[in-house]
Every structure is written in structure tokens, then in C-alpha cells.
Structure 1
Amino acid sequence: MTKRHGYALVAALAAVVVLISTAIYVAFSGGDRHDTTLGAGPSAQGSADPAAAGSWVGTWATAPAGAEPRTGAGFAGRTLRNVVHTSVGGTHARITLSNLFGTQPLTIGHASIAQASAPSNPTARPDSLRRLTFGGKPQVVIPAGGQVTSDPARLAVPADADLLVSTYAPTPSGPVTYHPHARQISFVANGDQTQNPRGDGYTEQSPYWRYLTAVDVLTREATGSVAILGDSLTDGVTSTLGANARWPDVLADRLREEAGAPRLGVLNEGISGNQLVPGGQFPPAGPSGVSRFERDVLSRTGVRSVVVVLGVNDLLRNPRHADADQLLDAMRELTRQAHARGLRVTGATLMPFNGHRGYRPHLDQLRRTINAEIRSGRVFDHVVDFDRALRDPYAPDRLRELYDSGDHLHPSDAGYRKMAESFNLSHLRGSAPAQL
């Protein structure tokens, strides 16, 4: 494929995606997600004070990746208690639930949010459980392909802490929209346990996040958030379970703790196996990066800057037809879309993978070609050089042993930490886009 034809394909796909995202998904988002005041509505337990001030910022998010296998009836008569970890704190919270991959309307009978009493624990901290409402009502129906955002609830949300978000579905709902590689244990209970602060009824564990795709906070602690489009390297599939050791978690620590750093939430929109563009000989792992950029990144609450970490799977999943120009055109298209929203983009170089079962010498050459163009400054506004940071200096087509999880593709916890340490934090401030 020529560079010109590759760009035409990407641009056409992007235009279709924007139309679909606007017409279907955003239509059910519950209104403007960037407001700075609280909407007044019927009072409910834990309802927010309409006079409260601050900015809505995403503190946690994940990308809906597909329909969970063997969930044709959904979780009728059961409660899901998702455990998620905040990046920034606030005084009020709201959630987003997704039925993107559902085939019929999803009824949520009740929902709640609480601070966890301890990390990775289904028991709520005393007096922190809040009932959530949707348009002032405890029940909401989410159309197939849609999403909904709850009303704000007054809750002191700490930074760097676990929250419990519980949803009860009274009736069968069809396939469950989920994120399969959470690296965090969540919980399931029989019956409506959304208002039960105790965890002893949650007898089933789950490695997935279901329905929940975002938590926003009303805050004066942060000025916005950074949204990260990525694959398993961002999803953190080889990081320690429940330890929040993915590189976006470490980046959130830096943004929160380092002197002079911009105070931003971090939104991890990685999907394991994800490709930048569609195609290849293997089944797709979630919608492609180009097709989901509007929904999973640009439409998130309070986004001030964007990070793109995609491309390796386009090589590994399409070894005979991978095209460097096509991938670079797709990266530039993402940058153009972000610039149209006034956002700067930091792009990552592709890390080495010699020793992995998918390694081929010609794929490594394509990787080096892509990296050289990324480093030239003609693709993104800024560059975070993961390749240079993690490669073995004596064998630059391999990860350094300290940073290798053992599969020669995904980093260890030390490698993920090194990735986060490679960022120039000033690049995430969200000033005006550069002229590429």
C-alpha cells in the first residue's frame, strides 16, 4: 500500500468513526461532560450540593473491549462490584456505564459508589456508601450501543485509592460489555447488594471490569486529565495483580507528587492486543485505535493532553503485510484529530521484541523505520522514547533483562516504572498544539 493510499484509508475511516460515535455513543452520555457546576435535580442519598465549585476531571477510565463470552443473559439478579483505583481526588463523583457491545437494552436497577475499606477489598469504608441516581431516578435503561452518566454524588474521593462501584441488573440484558485484562480483582454477589457496605456477600471474584468505563470527580486538585490510547503495554498485562503497577499508575504518582508537575488525572485506555489500524491475520482485540480514538480518548472528561502507545500489534498480527507508511499515516491522523480539539499529543516509540514468538527480522526493521520518523518530530507534538529507555544497550533489538517480564515483549514491574519515568511531564501540560 502506498503512503497516499494508506492516508486516504485512515482519513476515510476516521470520518466514519466520528459520525458513528457522535450519533450513537455520545448521544447517551447524559449531557456535557466538561461542565464545572453541578446540575440540580431531585434529592437522593448522597446527592451533590448544586453550589459546589470545581472542575470535572476523569480520575479513572477504561476502554470497553468487547462482549464478554457466554454472557447472553447478562448478570440478571446479581450485583457487580467493580474495584477501580483513582488517580486524583475530589469532593463529588459520577460514573459512566456502557452497553456498547450489548444487543438489547440494559436495565440497571440500582447503583452505588463507595471508598474501599482496604485495597482490593469488597467492603466499603464506614459511612462512605452513596446511592447513585440517573436523572434523579435510581433506575436507568441503557440502549444497546449506548452509555449513560450518573448524577453527581457527594463523596470525598481520595487520590491513589480504591473505589467500589456496584451495579444491580434485575433482568436479563444480553452480552455484557467488559474490559478483560483489568489486573484487578472485582466481585459478584447474588441479589441486590448495591447498598450493602459489607463484602461478605460478594462470594465470587472476577478479573474483569464490567459495564463501568469511567469515574469522574469534581475537584480543585487537578486541572484536567491525560488520556492514553494503547495496547497490552498500557493495559499492563504482566504487571503485578492488584498492585497498580502499570506504567500509567506510576505516571499518575509522578503527576501527583513531583514538584512542578502538572496536576492531572490519568485515564488508561489500553486494550490488550489492540491495533492502530484494522487488519491482520488474527482476530481483532477490540475496535482499532483509529476507530475508537474519539470515543475512548477525545470524549473523556477534562482531557488536556493525549498519549499514543500503539503499533507493535500491527506488526505482530500482520507480519506479511505490515506497512510502516500506513501506520505513520494513522498516527498523524490521530494527531490531527487531537489538534482539532486543541490537544497536544505525546507519541511513544515502539519497543523491541526479539525473543518473542512473533519476532521476524523484517518486522524489527519496520519498527526501527517507524521509530526514526517518530523521533524526527513529524508525527507527534512530543516523543516519549520507550525504545531507548528499555532496550538492551548490547542487543538493541531486545528488552533489557531487568525490564523484561520474560516473554520478551511485555515489561516487568521495573520496566513499567521505567516507562513512566521516561516522560517529560511538562509535555503533558496541554498547551497549544505544535505545527507539524
Structure 2
Amino acid sequence: MLKKIICTLLSAALLLSFSACSDIEDSGNLPSGTTVSQDSENGSVTTASGLEDDSQPVTTVAGEESEIAKNWSYEFDYQFIEENGIEYIWNQLDEDTKMNLGEVMNAIRNVQLYCPLTVGFPKEDGQKFLELVSNCTMFYSYASNNFRLHIDDSDTVKGVTISYLINYESEGFERNEALEAKLNEIVAGVPAGDEFERIKYLHDYLILNCDYSEDAVSPFSAYGSIVEGKATCQGYADGMHLLLDRAGYETAYAVGEGSEGVRHKWNYAKLSDGKWYIIDPTWDDPENKTEADYIGYDYFLISDEMILRDHHAKFDSDYYETPVAESMDKNYHKMMGYVATNADEAYDVLLAQAIETAKDGRRYLYLRFDDGEALAEAYEELSSGGAGNNRMQSIIEQANEAAGTNFSTTSWVKSLNEELGTLTITLKTAE
């Protein structure tokens, strides 16, 4: 007689957002309470429909019993580690968690609906374990974030039923092939030599080729950001993670809050100087930007101290030590020479940059102060005064003269982040 168990339904969807993106729940995810069945002859995956989706992770009891599946087996291999770029995380896990995570990741990789657990874990750890799974499946875009945990009479989770966002197994394999091919294509275009330029290329490519949108097959995944060119917060972070990994960099992620109560995910990259740096591609590609070719660099190769100036929180993991980024040595503004401490220095930096930018056919100027309040005061000093006394106007006039451009000397767009101490100016063509 098969052993009876209580099924607990958990939705482990990671809710990520910033600014206006307050809800990144995958609209294709199965709602809590959904049941899943599989046609063993053709591999078709079917799901119940017509149920209301939840916008927050919840834990509910199904109120029914389900039998533990028998005779499920597969070969445990380690390709999922490389495919998802999770070496940093994997190497820190204890042996029991490695076994549990490895079995679930292999099941997802093979598009299996049920995964027995050799070791298992306590029922009360269900939510955090499924969040680990959800965050690690960056390459497998077809897996839903809804799971059915099978719990034995000692309150140990001994199996997981997995739901998917596809109709056939072959769709999952096709997505993997398309994503890997696109990753390889992008990385093949990375310039040789300078490490800063290599990583900047990946960052810039993602931002220029992805729009913040839910209007995609899989916008909450790397498939959305890399293949479809449309993604939400998690899609940006997962895409950046895989690009860094395929380019040969040790990479990891952090989960926290962008604004209070709104979960967010960003990236870490370990560079050749042995130091960790943060990249937040989502916040470098603002949803409300007015210029399609705009690339932000406020969150490119920065420290924890810097990102936590305007990100609400960074969470610790229960399973591994999240990287700590302490250096600003490779920060964009520093590497480009766009750093100043007062109005006179800012004038010199912006003037040289404006001339170069105009000659190159670009329109964006960048600047950083260590002190955001001092930056705001410096900008006020540069941009105040009438004709002949306004130093910002003088900068643009000299750039136009040097490059033969026709940027307006009376109108430009300013984006000043006083918390970070960063300024971006968009030059406008005169009408």
C-alpha cells in the first residue's frame, strides 16, 4: 500500500521590481491550487486553468492527500551547474542541500513533473528552498515558480511536483538551444583585451537590446531579456548573469529590495583584481527613458555601499554567503575620468566630455561626486546665470564649435541622483 502524504502548495515566485515595476509576478505561472498531469505517451504537459493567480508568495494547504510517486529515476549529473552559472553558489552549499537542489535542478532540466528527494528537508524550510531553486534556474526559462511539496509523516519534504510554462518537453529543449546560441553570439562580439571594455560591452548590449516589458513569452527570465528582447527585473538580472558567466567571469546574484517592500535582484561579477563589483542592469535601463539609445551607468561596477544608498535592502542567504563588493576601483565614472569634487572640476570634466561626445555623434554626459549634495550645488552653480554667464551653456557652445554640431544651448535634460552623487545630462538638438 502506498504511503499517504499531505500536499502543501507553495508559490515561490520571486517578486522583483523597481520604480514603477511593482508587480513582476509571471502571468504565465500556475496559480496556487493548480494540479498537473502528464501524458506519458507524447510528453504533453497539461495544466488546470481558470483559477485566480496570486500576486504574492503564499503557502496554502491543498486539503487533500496525494500518493508518493514510485519508480521515478534519472541520472544525476552536474551540467545544470555550468548551464546556470551557479558555481559560486554550489561550492558553498552543504552536502544535503547539494543533493536536494541537484535532484530538483536535474528534474527541471529534463522537464520532469515529479522529483523524489533522496535526503529531503524540513517542511518549514520549504519556502526558502524553493526560492533558492527559483533563483538558480536562470537558464531554464520554461519552469514555473509553482511547486507541490510532498511531505511525509515526519514533516520532511521527500518529493517535489514541478509545473511548467510550456506544452511539450521539446519546447523546453528548444528554448535552451535558442538561449545558448544567442548567449554565444553575443559573447563572440566582446572586444578582446581590456576587461572593463569587455564587461561594458555586455552591459551595453543588454540595455540596448532589451526593453522593460511583460509583453513576451518569458519576460521574467533570461530567455526574455536575451532572446526576445523584452523582460522585467528578474529577466534583466538573469540575462546579465548568464552573459557574465559565458564570458568567463565568476558571477553571483543578490536579492533585496529596490524600494521598501519591493523585491529586487542584481548581479555581482568578480574581476581580475580579485574584487567583487555590482551591476544592476535593470536600474541602468529605466522604464521611463525617452531616448532609445540611452545607457545608464549609475549602477555599473559599483560597491555595496553605493547601491545601498538608494536600494532599500540586501538580504542574506540561508544557504551561502552573498558576495560583498567593497571597491569602486572599476566604476564607470572613475574609469572614464568622469569624477569631480567641485564646480570648477565639474566644468572641466563636462567640457572635455561634451566635445568628445559631440565629435562621436553621441549626446550623453556623465558625472559623479562622492558627495551628492555637493554635486547638486555644483550643478546649480554651473547652470545658473543668464546668457554669457551660464557655464553649462558655454560647455555646449564650445562642443558645437569643436564638432560642428547643433545642440541646443538653452535646453537639455538633467537626471541628478543626489543619493548616489551621479548626474547624467542629455543634449538636445536645437529646433
Do the two structures share a fold, i.e. TM-score over 0.5? no
User: Highest CA radius of gyration, 1 or 2?
Assistant: 2
Give the TM-score normalised by structure 1.
0.29
The answer to which structure, 1 or 2, has the higher relative contact order (CA under 8 A, 6+ apart) is 1
Kindly indicate which of the two structures has a greater share of residues assigned to helix. 2
